[in-house]
Amino acid sequence: MKLNKTFLAVAAAFPLLSSAVMADTVSSADLKERVFGSLFGEYYMPDLDKTESAEWNYMEKDWGYGVELGYYLTEQWALRLEFAKLDLQSKLDGSDADGNRIGLDAMYHISQLPSVYLVGGLKRFDAVQDTTAFNVGIGYKHFFNQNFALFAEANRYQGIDETYADAGVKVGLTYVFGSATAAPAPKPAPAPAPVAPVQPVAPADTDADGVVDSADKCANTPANHKVDATGCTVYEEKMASVGDIDIEVRFPFDSATIPADKISDVEGLGAFMQRFPESTVLIEGHASNIGNPDYNMRLSERRANSVADMLKKDFNIDPSRITAIGYGVTRPRVEGNTRAAHRANQRIEAKVTAKIKEPVLR
């Protein structure tokens, strides 16, 4: 096996090249855990035996090109995949002796010379013959900024299943994706502990409502109540249903006059609406399921209106606050055709809505 003299010359020149080029602005720590890709051109030099062998089609030295994709594992170690196109010709008649090279490399960056790296890997060739080789080499990479760098690299390719020792010199451009992780900012020196000022004694607030006792007019307000500046619960008013009032009025036949013994029920409703001037009422008239349904519907409307008229006349309730509707026999309280069912269904119901006050909660 013969090692090409050109390879030896390039390898020997790398340390000189690294000292002659301006120092990089990127450190090994900046490259850690980042992906990189490269494009390169290569001058490929087959073993002398290949250039003189018909089995290798008298393969001549020539140019190639390729791409790389890699990842910096640590500050020293990186892995890369390589694909190269070797555009070779026969020295004998100029016919094609080209092929491809694909493989995986490990790269080790020297701590004392971070721009210089050693490389070794395994390659597969299909130039004239399909063969496998391992390679060792040395490279130099110069960064212009956090992302772009030029590199040069020399490799020896030692055949495994065939006896040969090829060499190649690559020159290319590398792009490193992303950006370096910024170093954490140094922690500032701790400031001297301030002298704690003398705290004045806070005024007492016994019920913990945020209003001091001297200004609190409502002591012991519930803890979940919102309070005003005087410490009293803040209320909100809203219209809400406050319940139904059943007025069981049984009218004489074909009569809508309220019996005397039931007038007190209507009076209680009127007094409530006078006390709460924003309240409203829905008066529902109902009838028992005896006789003609149409007649019962009209009868229930007259009975509901008789209660509404009493509220307007005797208690001066504004008509806009009263709604009277007759439902006839459509909404029985008790199903059936018994005397008890008829008595229960012959009724007036009042549904009252009034403004109520509720505490505002914190």
Give 241's pLDDT tier (boundaries 50, 70, 90).
low
Contact 283, 350 (CB under 8 A): yes
Q: Sign of the C-alpha dihedral, residues 225, 230, 232, 235?
A: negative
Contact 240, 321 (CB under 8 A): no
* Rounded distance between C-alpha atoms, residue 267 and residue 348, angstroms: 14
Return the pLDDT at 3: 41
- Assess whether pLDDT exceeds 50 at residue 23: no
Q: State the pTM of this model.
A: 0.46
Return the pLDDT at 36: 95
pLDDT tens readout for residues 337-359: 888 888 778 788 888 887 777 78
pLDDT tens readout for residues 94-111: 888 899 999 999 999 988
Contact 155, 137 (CB under 8 A): yes
The token duo for 322 is 């009263």
Give 184's pLDDT tier (boundaries 50, 70, 90).
low
Share the mean pLDDT of the chain: 83
Give 315's pLDDT tier (boundaries 50, 70, 90).
very high
Return the pLDDT at 357: 73
